[in-house]
């Protein structure tokens, strides 16, 4: 319950800060918060197959532009609904360089760093034992930015993390001797500025990851594969 409260309370706290902070002259920083609803499919969890659940999610993000550079960062947290108790956390920061600009179109490419975490505390997985996967690694990313009008713009982001370093924890025992897996993420965004400072934000966020099988003293542990998608609605603030 406490973790669930923190996942959704943090973006709401940041929303209050966005509203109350004074406006500055620079409009290069755009920040936002969102809430969402989505679905996750686990084709395998520790070798168990075909598990699905629905989720509430929330998150915060920010983009900063400086000449040909684009700096991005976001956090997205999800909690499982119904009888499937799980939580997922994803954080990413990146820096990209604009290598193409034609009329309304801008294309950036760059590098970043990603943190991932998934926690299972449900009878459907390992007889109800708590299992947590954490992963991290460097990423490559491409951002396509299209200014449709002065108030309306859309962005598409693809992030690839081909060598995620995973660790697994259960019963207070952590095992980091796991082969590298992979993780991919895409984000489609639509932003509309309804005033000089504030705007509305609609996004679709999807990600996939794979944790290879590994061995422990208790025996072999099957691989874990996940794919998820969520639809998110939020507000933005220019600084």
pLDDT confidence tier of residue 134, bands split at 50, 70 and 90: very high
Inter-residue contact 237 to 52 (CB < 8 Å)? no
Tens digits of residue pLDDT in 92-114:
999 999 999 998 999 999 999 99
Handedness of CA 43, 48, 54, 58 (dihedral sign): negative
Direct distance between the N- and C-terminal alpha carbons of the chain, in angstroms, rounded to an integer: 34
In residues, how long is the chain? 239
Distance between CA atoms of residues 71 and 96, nearest Å: 6
Average the pLDDT over each of 68-72, 143-147, 215-219 and give the range with the smallest value. 215-219
Distance between CA atoms of residues 230 and 96, nearest Å: 25
Answer whether residue 22 shows pLDDT above 60: no
Determine whether domain 2-238 maps to CATH 3.10.450.50. Answer: no
Question: Counting Cβ atoms within 10 Å, is residue 35 exposed (0-12), middle (13-18) or buried (19+)?
Answer: middle
Answer whether residue 194 shows pLDDT above 50: yes
Average the pLDDT over each of 10-19, 38-47, 99-108 and give the range with the smallest value. 10-19
Q: Which residue has the tokens 């193409």?
A: 100
Handedness of CA 162, 163, 165, 170 (dihedral sign): positive
Query: Who wins on pLDDT, 22 or 25?
Result: 22
Answer whether residue 14 shows pLDDT above 50: no
Mean pLDDT rounded to a whole number for the chain? 87
Percent of residues, the chain, with pLDDT higher than 90: 61
3-state secondary structure of 178: coil
Question: Chain centroid to CA 98: how far?
Answer: 23
pLDDT confidence tier of residue 51, bands split at 50, 70 and 90: confident
Residue 114's DSSP bridge partners are 92, 137
Helix (H) or strand (E) holding 8: helix 2-20
pLDDT confidence tier of residue 1, bands split at 50, 70 and 90: very low
What is the arithmetic mean of pLDDT over 154-163?
A: 96
Angstrom CA distances, 4 to 29, 56, 81, 86, 94, stand at 29, 10, 11, 10, 27
């Amino acid at each position: 319950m406490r973790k669930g409260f923190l996942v959704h309370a943090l973006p709401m706290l940041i929303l209050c800060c966005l509203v109350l902070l004074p406006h500055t002259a620079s409009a290069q920083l755009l920040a936002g918060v969102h809430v969402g609803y989505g679905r996750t499919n686990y084709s395998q969890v520790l070798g168990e197959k075909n598990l699905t659940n629905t989720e509430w999610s929330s998150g915060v993000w920010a983009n900063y532009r400086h000449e040909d550079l684009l700096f991005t960062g976001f956090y997205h947290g999800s909690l499982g609904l119904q009888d499937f108790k799980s939580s997922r956390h994803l954080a990413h920061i990146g820096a990209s360089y604009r290598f193409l600009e034609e009329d309304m179109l801008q294309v950036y490419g760059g590098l970043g760093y990603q943190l991932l975490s998934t926690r299972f505390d449900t009878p459907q997985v390992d007889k109800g034992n708590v299992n947590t996967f954490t992963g991290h690694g460097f990423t490559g990313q491409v951002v396509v930015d299209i200014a449709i009008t002065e108030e309306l713009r859309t962005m598409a982001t693809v992030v690839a993390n081909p060598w995620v370093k995973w660790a697994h924890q259960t019963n207070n025992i952590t095992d980091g001797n796991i082969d590298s897996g992979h993780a991919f993420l895409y984000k489609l965004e639509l932003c509309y500025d309804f005033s000089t400072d504030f705007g509305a934000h609609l996004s679709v966020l999807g990600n996939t990851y794979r944790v290879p099988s590994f061995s422990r003293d208790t025996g072999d542990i099957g691989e874990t594969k996940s794919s998820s998608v969520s639809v998110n609605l939020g507000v933005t603030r220019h600084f």
